[in-house]
Structure 1
Amino acid sequence: MLKIIDIGIPNALALKISGNLSEADVSEALLEAKKLGEQYEKITIYEEIESFDGLEFSAIIEKFKYLFEVGISNICAAAILTDKEWLKKVVNMEDKLFRGIDMKCFSLDQRKDAIHFLREYAPKNG
C-alpha cells in the first residue's frame, strides 16, 4: 500500500509505503510526481517505508514508462526512511548510480532530520 502524505515542502512527493505495491499505487505516485514536475523545476522524494513485501510486475512497467516519458532529471534529492538494512544498501547503491540526485537514508525515527534535509532543496520563493 502506498499513501501520499504532506510533509510541508511544496516540491516534495512524500509517500508512506507498507506491504505490497500495486500498479495502481505506483501509477498514483508517478502521476503526482509528474504534476509536481510541471509545477517546479526540481522536485524531491520522501519515502517512509514501514514495511515492503514486494512490487507487482505491472507496477515495475509503470515506473519504466514514467522514466522513459519524463525521466529523473527533475529529481534533485530523495530521503528514504527505513529500518531495513537491505533497503539502506539499495539506496546507497542508487546514490552512487544516480549522481545528480542527493539521496540519503534515515531511520524511521529520524523523520524530522529527513524533512530538514529535503527543505534545503525547497523552492526559495514558496
Structure 2
Amino acid sequence: MLEMITAPAPHVVALRLSGRLDASELQKAIDAIEAAKQDHPRVSLYTELDALRWMTASALLRDLGYGLTQVGQLSHFHRAAAVSDHLWMRPLAALENHLFKPLEVRVFSNDHKHEAMAWVCELPDGQAGQETPPTSRQAG
C-alpha cells in the first residue's frame, strides 16, 4: 500500500509504503513526482519504508523502468530521504550517491523522521522561493 504524506514544502513528494505494493499504487507515486517536476526546478523525495513487505513483479518492473527514464533527468532532483531501520539500506544509499549525482540520498532511522523531512525540505542555495522551473517562467 502506498500512502501520500503531506510535506511542509511544495517541492517534496512524501510517501509511506506498507504491506504489498502493486504497479497501480506505484504509478500514483510516479504521477506525483512528475507533477512536482512540472512545478518546481528541483524535487526532493521522502519515503518511509519499514512497513513495506513486498512489491509485485509488475511494480518492481515499473519502478525499474521509471528509474531508468530518470537517469538523464537527474538535474530535476535534489535529495531523497529513506526512513528505515533496515541496515542494508545504508550501503545502497551510498552507492546511489556515487552513481546518481546530483541527487543526494540519505537513510534516516525511524527515530529521526522529523530530521529526514526537514533535510529534504531544504532547497539548494539560490533556489529558495522558486515555484516554477526557469524554462516555464514568462518574461516580464
Whether TM exceeds 0.5 here: the answer is: yes
- Which of 91, 97, 101 in structure 2 is aligned with 1:99? 101
- 1:70/1:86 CA distance change after superposition, 3 Å: closer
Answer with 15-24 or 36-45: which moved more.
15-24
- Count of aligned pairs: 126
Residue 45 of structure 1 corresponds to: 45
Structure 2 distance, partners of 1:95, 1:19, is 27
User: In terms of Rg, which structure is larger?
Assistant: 2
Residue 76 of structure 1 corresponds to: 78
Residue 3 of structure 1 corresponds to: 3
TM score, norm. by length of structure 2 = 0.79
Structure 1 distance, partners of 2:79, 2:4, is 17
Please report how far the alpha carbon of residue 52 of structure 1 lies from its aligned counterpart in structure 2 after TM superposition: 2.6
Structure 2 distance, partners of 1:54, 1:95, is 24
Structure 2 distance, partners of 1:91, 1:20, is 22
In structure 2, runs of 5+ residues without a counterpart are 132-140
Residue by residue, what CA displacement relative to the aligned partner does 1:53-103 show, whole Å, maximum 9, x if unpaired? 221121123224434555542111111110011123322222222121111
- 1:6/1:93 CA distance change after superposition, 3 Å: same
